[in-house]
Amino acid sequence: MSENDLEQKRKELEAKIEVAKGPGGGKKHQEEHYSMANQAWRMVTELVAGLGIGFGIGYGLDALLGTTPLFMVLFIMLGLAAGVKVMLRTAKEIQETQEASQGATEGDKNGD
């Protein structure tokens, strides 16, 4: 086979692959799924970190000052509030990112 025949067959194969992938191309849905899972784990981690830091500060203050559960309960509640606040901020960022990507996709569909 000549080099031109191989080149032509390669181009035909690439064209068939592109047709098989469809208009979305490749593994977009699967990549989006993992992205959402990563974002969910990020939010869970932020909440647990807030609780853990609150517990650590409260327990440390209780140990230093001799108060049994007072500061621990107080700082766990503050850590929970901080964790929820950070989770809400992350959820807002995710929502804005999705809205922007949907707007760009709709613009592509409309020919803009």
pLDDT of residue 99: 87
CA distances 17 to 11, 13, 60, 99, Å, are 10, 6, 61, 30
Is 14 domain-assigned?
no
User: 20, 57 in Cβ contact below 8 A?
Assistant: no
Total number of domains in the chain = 1
Question: Residue 45 is part of which domain span?
Answer: 28-109
CA distances 91 to 43, 57, 108, 110, Å, are 8, 27, 26, 28
pLDDT along the chain (112 residues), means of 10: 83 87 61 76 92 95 92 96 94 87 68 54
Q: Which two tokens stand for residue 44?
A: 């869970």
Is 62 domain-assigned?
yes
pLDDT of residue 38: 87
Is 42 domain-assigned?
yes
Residue 74 burial by CB count (10 A; 0-12/13-18/19+): exposed, middle or buried?
Answer: middle
Largest interatomic CA distance in the chain: 87
pTM above 0.85, yes or no: no
pLDDT of residue 71: 94
pLDDT of residue 81: 96
User: 35, 27 in Cβ contact below 8 A?
Assistant: no
Is 5 domain-assigned?
no
Residue type, 77: M
